[in-house]
Structure 1
Amino acid sequence: MVILTVKAGITREQVMTVMPAEIRQTVQLNLNGKIREWYSRGDGSGAVFLLDSRDVAEAHAIMEGLPLAKQNIVDHEYIALGPLLPLGLLAADPERRQQGETHIEDRR
């Protein structure tokens, strides 16, 4: 996941000058399967992208290739995501599941 935030002191006009190229490239990344989902931030200060990448380094390379990053208009925060680990307990056989639950309770 990448949280994109417009840098302090950057005007809306500066952002909008770059947006046509940014939009074209993000749509192409979506069509190529690199951007799975994207959202506008509720506060209007940027966007959130869910990328399909091997690791944070690849996500960084993808995002740094976009026009807003090249123009140094935005900051990025990268967060690696994966499956929710406790769901494995639900898929385990009942005996293992109970052992897992006991193990979790022992840590409290």
Structure 2
Amino acid sequence: MNIKLPKTTGILTILSRKPSIKADQIMKVMPEEIRATVALYMEGKIQQWFMQADGSGVIFILNCKDVEEARDIIEDLPFSKESLVEEQFIPIGPLLPLGLLLGDKRPE
């Protein structure tokens, strides 16, 4: 059986405060970080954004074709420049089992 992987349509990006970083270090850079992320949202680079329920960081769904593009965007943000956060990048795409409903006649 030949399984076709889904096309990457975005990058799930998780930014978490490093354990060694104190809240006051985050708050010092927060205004600059907020301005930068709002600008990315207005440019259409951030599709969705969420806060982690435990308050440890944020989750972005970025409109990017690959992890390298997402990494370039995130590493230009103040929190990343100041090495305040750990970064995770997960390529995401359409849910493959839904293709069964189409008889596997998916657009290329």
- Where structure 2 has 5 or more consecutive residues not aligned to the other structure, the ranges are 1-11
- Report whether the alignment pairs 1:15 with 2:26: yes
From 72, 86, 90, the counterpart of 2:83: 72
Identity %: 49
Count of aligned pairs:
94
- Where structure 1 has 5 or more consecutive residues not aligned to the other structure, the ranges are 97-108
Deviation at 1:36, TM superposition (A): 0.5
Q: Quick one: which amino acid aligns to residue 13 of structure 2?
A: V
**Equivalent position of 2:102 in the other structure:** 91
Please state whether the residue corresponding to 1:43 is helix, strand or coil: coil
Give the TM-score taking structure 1 as reference length.
0.84
Q: Higher relative contact order at CA 8 Å, sep ≥6: structure 1 or structure 2?
A: 2
Q: Deviations over 1:73-104 (max 9, x none)?
A: 001011000000111111228xx8xxxxxxxx
Give the TM-score taking structure 2 as reference length.
0.84
- Report whether the alignment pairs 1:43 with 2:58: no
Q: CA separation in 2, counterparts of 1:52 and 1:82?
A: 11
The structure with the largest alpha-carbon Rg is 1
**Equivalent position of 1:2 in the other structure:** 13
Runs of 4+ in 1 over 4 A off after TM superposition: none
Output the aligned Cα RMSD.
1.3
